[in-house]
Amino acid sequence: MELVEKINRLKKEKNAVILAHNYQIPEVQDIADYVGDSLGLSIQASKTTADVIVFCGVYFMAETAKILSPEKIVLIPDEKAGCPMADMITAEELRKLKAEHPKAKALCYVNTTAEVKAECDVCCTSGNAEKIVRDVFREDDEIIFVPDQYLAHYIATRTGHDFILWKGFCPTHVKILPEDITAKRALYKNAEVLVHPECPAGVTSLADKVLSTEGMCRYIKESKATEFIIGTEIGILHRLKKENPGKLFHPVSERATCPNMKLTTLEKVLWSMEEMGFEVTVPPDIMNKAGTCLRRMIDYKP
Ligand code: SF4
C-alpha cells in the first residue's frame, strides 16, 4: 500500500501518466492510468497532456510512445524489458530484403525497433493489420511484412494477399500448442476459444475467434457467452476477470508467460519515478521517419 501511495504522490508531483500493457503483472495494471494493447497505448501516448509517461511494457512500446510524444519525458522502469520478436530483424537486414524486392512496400508490425520502423512505409498492430492491408495497399502490391511470420500468415488468409515474410515469431505465443486447445475444450465444453494472431496457424485454425488483446476485451464485454478459453499471454486474464466479474476464464496454456513483460514491478515503477530513469531517447532522423510510419497506423484505428 505504501508503495502505491508513493507512486500516486509522485504521479501528481511530476504530472506523470502510467501506461501499462495488458500483459503486465496485476499490481502494475492496477496502478496504471490506462491499460491496453500496443495500439491503444500508442494512441494514449500521442494525446496525453502529462509531462512524463511511465511506460510499463517492453522497450519498443516505450520507444513508440517517445516517437509519438517527442516533447515528453518517457521512462521505462526496467531498461532490460525487451521484446525478442522485435529483435529478430535489424534495419540492416530489412534494407537487404528491400533491395532484393525493389518494388515492394514495407509493412512492419509495431513489435519492431524504431530503426526498423524508419525503413517502413506503414506500421500495424494485431488489432488493425487486416484493415491496413485492405485500405492502404492495392491488390497487386508486393508487400514485405516483418517480423512476425504467424501474424503475416493469418492476415494473408483473411485478405488473400501474399506477403514477403520474415521468419520472426513470439517465443511466448509459440508455446501455445494445438493439443492445449483440444485438452481445454474437452475440460470446458461450453467455453469459447479466443486466440491471438501471433499464435501459429495450427492454433489459430482451431479457435472460435482470432483477436488482438484489445479485440478480446471488447468481444468478451459484448458477448452473451460466459466462459472463455484464452490463447494469449496470461497477464490479460487479470483485466478480463476485473472487467467481467460474472464470467469465467481459463488460459489455453499457463506456459504462455512473457518473462520480459514480467520484469516490471511496483518497486521499479517507484524507483523510475523517483530517479527519472530509464529515459527513452530516439535519434532525430530515426524519430522523423519512424514517426511518419507510426502516424499512418494511428489513422487506421479499426
Ligand atoms: S509476448 Fe511476445 S511479442 Fe509480446 S513482448 Fe513478449 S516476446 Fe514480445
Check: CB of residue 264 under 8 Å from CB of residue 90.
no
> Which atom in ligand 1 lies closest to the alpha carbon of residue 86?
8
Tell me which residue of 14, 82, 79, 77 sits closest to 268, measured CA to CA.
Answer: 77
CB of 85 within 6 A of ligand 1: the answer is yes
Ligand 1: distance of its center to the CA of 292 in Å?
24
Nearest CA to ligand 1 atom 8: 83
Please determine, for residue 300, whether its predicted confidence score (pLDDT) is greater than 70.
no
Nearest CA to ligand 1 atom 2: 170
Ligand 1: distance of its center to the CA of 139 in Å?
30
Mean pLDDT confidence for 201-227: 97
Alpha carbon distance 58, 266 (integer Å): 15
Alpha carbon distance 266, 77 (integer Å): 9
Helix boundaries (H) for the chain? 2-13, 26-31, 38-47, 59-68, 91-100, 114-117, 129-136, 149-159, 178-187, 201-204, 213-222, 236-243, 266-275, 284-298
> Which atom in ligand 1 lies closest to the alpha carbon of residue 57?
5
Whole-number pLDDT of residue 65: 93
Poorest-pLDDT segment among 6-10, 37-41, 58-62, 149-153: 37-41
Whole-number pLDDT of residue 139: 86
In percent, the amount of the chain with pLDDT more than 70 equals 99
CB of 259 within 6 A of ligand 1: the answer is no
The pLDDT-based confidence of 84 (bands split at 50, 70, 90) is very high
Whole-number pLDDT of residue 275: 98
Whole-number pLDDT of residue 38: 83
CB of 58 within 6 A of ligand 1: the answer is yes
Whole-number pLDDT of residue 1: 65
Ligand 1: distance of its center to the CA of 9 in Å?
31
CB of 88 within 6 A of ligand 1: the answer is no
Poorest-pLDDT segment among 39-53, 135-149, 249-263: 39-53
CB of 261 within 6 A of ligand 1: the answer is yes
Q: What is the DSSP letter of 174?
A: G
Please determine, for residue 104, whether its predicted confidence score (pLDDT) is greater than 80.
yes
Please determine, for residue 9, whether its predicted confidence score (pLDDT) is greater than 90.
yes
- Give the pLDDT confidence of 129-159 residue by residue, as tens digits: 999 999 999 888 999 999 999 999 999 999 9
Please determine, for residue 271, whether its predicted confidence score (pLDDT) is greater than 80.
yes
Please determine, for residue 274, whether its predicted confidence score (pLDDT) is greater than 70.
yes
In percent, the amount of the chain with pLDDT more than 90 equals 93
Please determine, for residue 173, whether its predicted confidence score (pLDDT) is greater than 80.
yes
Check: CB of residue 19 under 8 Å from CB of residue 45.
yes
Ligand 1: distance of its center to the CA of 102 in Å?
30
CB of 16 within 6 A of ligand 1: the answer is no
Nearest CA to ligand 1 atom 3: 170
Whole-number pLDDT of residue 157: 97
The pLDDT-based confidence of 259 (bands split at 50, 70, 90) is very high
Please determine, for residue 301, whether its predicted confidence score (pLDDT) is greater than 80.
no
Mean pLDDT confidence for 12-22: 97
CA distances in angstroms from 274 to 10, 194, 261, 270, 279, listed in the order given? 8, 40, 21, 6, 12
The pLDDT-based confidence of 185 (bands split at 50, 70, 90) is very high
The predicted model scores a pTM of 0.96
Q: Which amino acid is at 49?
A: T
Whole-number pLDDT of residue 42: 79
